[in-house]
């Protein structure tokens, strides 16, 4: 039995209540020892890192090149330290069987799907809800029942891009019907307020539903006049959760700083990584997005929770994860840059801050980076 040892300046696991310097050992795919001490072990460690976390979870990204117009290879998120990638609507009732067999099952890292209410998923450039025939509630329910172990939510994107001609109210109501029947949450992309007031949209959502793109500046924005708007606060008070979903146009430093300054933090931090990022030639991954949230004023411990414990609870992992003896060794090891660098949002603003980079990632104890 080969045992690997790691020293870290910071071990963090919200589930286990760990936030301390220490060391960790793994063998046979599981954690065999956690030592909360700054002291070095007698054995030479495999690595010494700045931060060691349970494997990162990206709650909103696009996986599956070839089956989704937005999809990227699973290996791309794994290389950034993500052990569980959550696909946002890349497959629907007509494509989910292939998606499970060709994308989810062969992947070295875990993949969970928010199944698209649209039967065609994200397979078309015209928008997943380009016509009413793409919505088939019964087919979506049956597809979800076939692959329930791989599906955590129902994806409903009510944006003008996703449903350019359909009434977004009809789209959301159909998604809620699937959600009620299957008892899974909605992962919701907001409509621009000019088409449908934000307060009316959020009023449909319930405890456990997740709103993504929460720090976008336009066409919808959760802050106004230096404060978070009331309908957003009301939704959170009812138990609706809010996800970042950075993407190519959904993260603004001014919005983030205002919201964070008011105590409104994203419940989960996600990349909305998609094929368009491949042509940009610049890095876009979860540790970088985490670094941007820190530059906007979010505390490190809240950032760590938003990429580990909270998304793990949402997707309902079958086995416990964390820095606990005996559990599966899904781990992300991060180092921090020595100097601050320029960090950019999607609105043309910039801030300076240090940046985390994945040094190593383990899935079931196997090194994947």
Domain at 239, CATH number:
3.20.20.140
Confidence check: pLDDT of 42 > 60: no
Please state whether beta strands 56-61 and 210-212 pair in parallel, antiparallel, or not at all (unpaired): unpaired
Residues 104 and 157 in one domain: yes
Confidence check: pLDDT of 360 > 80: yes
Q: pLDDT tens-digit profile of 16-39?
A: 999 999 999 999 999 999 999 755
Confidence check: pLDDT of 43 > 70: no
Average pLDDT over residues 42-68: 88
Q: For residue 282, what pLDDT is reported?
A: 81
Alpha helix stretches (DSSP H) within 183-318: 198-203, 230-237, 253-261, 286-295, 300-306, 309-315
Average pLDDT over residues 314-341: 92
Residues 37 and 123 in one domain: no
Q: For residue 320, what pLDDT is reported?
A: 76
Q: For residue 321, what pLDDT is reported?
A: 82
Q: For residue 124, what pLDDT is reported?
A: 86
Q: For residue 38, what pLDDT is reported?
A: 55
Full residue range of the structural domain in which residue 336 is found: 4-53+323-367
Confidence (pTM): 0.96
Q: For residue 307, what pLDDT is reported?
A: 98
Residues 29 and 110 in one domain: no
Take residue 85 and report the two structure tokens written for it: 């990638």
Confidence check: pLDDT of 238 > 60: yes
Residues 33 and 144 in one domain: no
| Range with the poorest average pLDDT among 157-161, 203-207, 293-297 | 157-161
User: pLDDT category, 1, cuts 50, 70, 90?
Assistant: low
Residues 187 and 249 in one domain: yes
Number of domains in the chain: 2
CATH classification of the domain holding 17: 2.30.40.10
Q: For residue 125, what pLDDT is reported?
A: 86
Residues 159 and 280 in one domain: yes
Residues 213 and 280 in one domain: yes
User: pLDDT category, 104, cuts 50, 70, 90?
Assistant: very high
User: pLDDT category, 126, cuts 50, 70, 90?
Assistant: confident
Q: What are phi and psi of 266, to 5 degrees?
A: -65, 135
Residues 24 and 62 in one domain: no
Residues 34 and 136 in one domain: no
Average pLDDT over residues 111-126: 94
Q: For residue 274, what pLDDT is reported?
A: 94
User: pLDDT category, 65, cuts 50, 70, 90?
Assistant: confident
Whole-number average pLDDT of the chain: 94
Among residues 8, 7, 18, 9, which one has the least CA distance to residue 327? 18
Contact 6, 33 (CB under 8 A): no
Q: How far apart are CA 51 and CA 35, in angstroms?
A: 14
Average pLDDT over residues 345-362: 97
Confidence check: pLDDT of 49 > 70: yes
CA–CA distances in Å: residue 92 to residues 117, 122, 134, 228: 6, 8, 9, 34
| Range with the poorest average pLDDT among 136-150, 207-221, 273-287 | 273-287
Confidence check: pLDDT of 44 > 80: no
| Range with the poorest average pLDDT among 144-148, 319-323, 330-334 | 319-323
Confidence check: pLDDT of 156 > 80: yes
Residues 189 and 277 in one domain: yes
Residues 124 and 161 in one domain: yes
Residues 182 and 193 in one domain: yes
């Amino acid at each position: 039995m080969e045992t690997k040892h790691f020293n870290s300046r910071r071990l963090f696991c919200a589930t286990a209540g760990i936030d301390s310097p220490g060391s960790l050992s793994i063998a046979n795919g599981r954690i065999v020892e956690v030592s909360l001490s700054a002291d070095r072990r007698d054995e030479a460690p495999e690595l010494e890192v700045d931060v060691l976390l349970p494997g990162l979870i990206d709650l909103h990204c696009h996986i599956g090149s070839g089956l989704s117009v937005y999809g990227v290879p699973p290996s791309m998120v794994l290389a950034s330290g993500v052990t569980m990638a959550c696909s946002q609507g890349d497959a629907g009732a007509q494509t989910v069987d292939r998606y499970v067999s060709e994308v989810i099952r062969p992947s070295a890292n875990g993949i969970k799907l928010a199944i698209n209410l649209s039967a065609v998923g994200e397979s078309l450039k015209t928008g997943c809800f380009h016509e009413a025939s793409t919505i088939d509630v019964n087919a979506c329910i049956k597809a979800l029942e076939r692959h329930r172990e791989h599906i955590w939510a129902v994806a409903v994107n009510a944006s003008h891009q996703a449903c350019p001609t359909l009434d977004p109210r009809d789209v959301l109501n159909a998604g809620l019907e699937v959600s009620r029947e299957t008892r899974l949450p909605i992962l919701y992309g907001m409509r621009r307020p000019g088409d449908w007031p934000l307060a009316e949209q959020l009023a449909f959502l319930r405890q456990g539903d997740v709103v993504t793109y929460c720090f976008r500046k336009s066409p919808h924005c959760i802050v106004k006049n230096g404060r978070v708007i009331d309908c957003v606060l009301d939704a959170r008070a009812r138990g609706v959760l809010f996800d970042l979903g950075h993407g190519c146009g959904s993260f603004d430093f001014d919005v983030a700083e205002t919201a964070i300054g008011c105590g409104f933090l994203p419940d989960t931090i996600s990349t909305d990584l998609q094929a368009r990022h491949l042509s940009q030639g610049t890095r876009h991954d979860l540790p970088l997005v985490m670094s941007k949230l820190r530059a906007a004023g979010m505390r490190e411990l809240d950032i760590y929770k938003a990429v580990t414990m909270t998304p793990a609870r949402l997707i309902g992992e079958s086995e416990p994860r964390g820095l606990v003896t005996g559990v599966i060794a899904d781990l992300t090891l991060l180092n921090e840059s020595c100097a601050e660098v320029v960090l950019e949002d999607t609105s043309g603003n910039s801030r300076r801050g240090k940046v985390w980079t994945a040094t190593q990632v383990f899935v079931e104890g196997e090194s994947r980076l």
